[in-house]
Amino acid sequence: MSSKDWIEKDFYSVLGVNKSASTDDIKKAYRKLARELHPDRNPGNRDAEERFKAVSEANDVLSDPRKRAEYDEMRQLFGSGAFRRSTRGAPTGGFDMSDLFGDGTATAGDRRFGGAGFSDLFGSIFSGGNRSSRRPGMTRGRDVEAEVTLDFGDAVRGVTMPITLRAPGVCDTCHGSGAKPGTSPRTCPVCHGSGLVTNNQGAFSLSEPCRNCQGVGTVVDQKCPECHGTGGVTKTRTMTIRIPAGVADGQRIRIAGRGEPGERGGPPGDLYVLIKVRDDALFGRYGDDLTLAVPITFAEAVTGVDLRVPTLDGSVTLRVPPGTPSGRTLRVRGKGIIRRDKTVGDLLVTVDVVVPKDLTPEARKALEEFAASSPPAPRQQLESRLNHV
């Protein structure tokens, strides 16, 4: 969801709660509406479907205290201000919030970085980039997302690994000004350096970022050859991270303090790592249990067998009792995945009776003798039915 969405949507009224509603009240309101509007109860009703989506979206933000605080703050800053009006049909065609925050409000030192992401928005606002609300305060660094692919065993046991992050940084050649070394940006002739232009439109006086300089207040005549005038370059940062034991494919883990550094002594952001796990040739995973399929012969299934099976650390011997049917799963305690609370899941061994396709003449003869001397398969029920047909 873009930051612009957040400004334009009133999640409180969508859920029918007031701004001071507790998290519990919000959850209750959401559950009630979600039940009423659920597509299963309103088949083919587009209006209900749209409202269902809107209610889910509102709940997603308001039920998360951190997102809710960000949302509230953003609504307070922009919700009813001139910015919002100007996005709705200003005579010059309005502007994109991403222009405003991604480019327009950044200082010369960090101008024109990033996209329209929410963290970008707040990074800009709270780093003091916004001219009209420049604050000297500390800034928390941005959160960073990364993805790693782990071998199965590493995911189970945990691993320490290097990770390389790419992030926007200030161009070293021009120190972020975007101007060719030896030249300087000059004051924008349109907005005279303010970064804003004012349109008088009837009773309203609307300010919007200057389109000549994208709200920066300066223009660059000779662009820096390194960054082509943007002032920014992509920088890589390598660090070592510790992936805890037992992570699963698709899990997202947070590593506190390993995001981008803060500014002016502010704390660093967090690193979020999306985990991908490669399949293992032998082992599978079921929750916190490891799974393993082991082929056995018919004779072993009948008479029982001691099986030596691999685990993730060493091997264990497992007793398959006489008369074990194919497909039975045997549990080896404590040889599975290490959980967060340090307890350990189990190893689930499923035996699979293999039926040979080719037999030696001796084996065939022995099998025929076996068949002749063993009771028939228990098909009495089927046969009694057949006799009545």
What residue ranges bind Zn ion (CB under 5 A)?
171, 173-174, 188, 190-191, 210, 212-213, 224, 226-227
- Nearest approach, Cβ of 134 to Zn ion (angstroms)? 18
Nearer to Zn ion, 7 or 171 (CB): 171
Q: Where are the beta strands (DSSP E) in the chain?
A: 144-150, 159-170, 186-187, 196-201, 204-209, 218-219, 232-243, 252-255, 271-277, 284-286, 289-296, 305-310, 315-320, 329-332, 347-353
Judged on CB neighbours under 10 Å (0-12, 13-18, 19+), 388 is: exposed
Query: How many CB atoms lie under 10 A from the CB of residue 193?
Result: 16
Q: Which is nearer to Zn ion, 35 or 192 (CB)?
A: 192
Please report the DSSP string for 90-109 in residue order: -TT----HHIIIIIITS-GG
Residue placing its CB nearer to Zn ion in the complex, 116 or 190: 190
Q: What are phi and psi of 281, to 5 degrees?
A: -65, -30
CB of 128 to Zn ion, least distance (A): 20
Tell me the closest approach of the beta carbon of residue 175 to Zn ion, in angstroms. Answer: 8
- Which residue, 2 or 212, is less far from Zn ion as judged by CB? 212
HSE-CB of 174 using CA atoms within 13 angstroms: 27
Q: Which residue lies nearer to Zn ion by CB, 61 or 219?
A: 219
Q: Name the residue nearer to Zn ion (CB basis): 174 or 349.
A: 174
CB of 91 to Zn ion, least distance (A): 18
CA distance 17 to 19: 7
Task: Spell out a b/e string for 66-89, using b for 16 or more CB atoms within 10 Å of the CB, else e.
Answer: eebebbbebbeebbeebbeebbee
C-beta of 231: minimal distance to Zn ion in Å? 6
Is 215 in contact with 104 (CB distance < 8 Å)? Answer: yes
Burial of 371: CB neighbours in 10 Å, binned 0-12, 13-18, 19+: exposed
What is the smallest separation between the CB atom of 132 and Zn ion, expressed in angstroms?
15
Q: What gap in Å lies between CA 149 and CA 145, rounded to an integer?
A: 14
Query: 229 vs 259, which CB is nearer to Zn ion?
Result: 229
Considering beta carbons, is residue 191 or 255 the nearer one to Zn ion?
A: 191
Tokens for 338, please give them.
């290490």
User: Least Å distance between CB 209 and Zn ion?
Assistant: 8
Smallest gap from Cβ 121 to Zn ion, in A, equals 21
User: 292 is written with which tokens?
Assistant: 């393993």
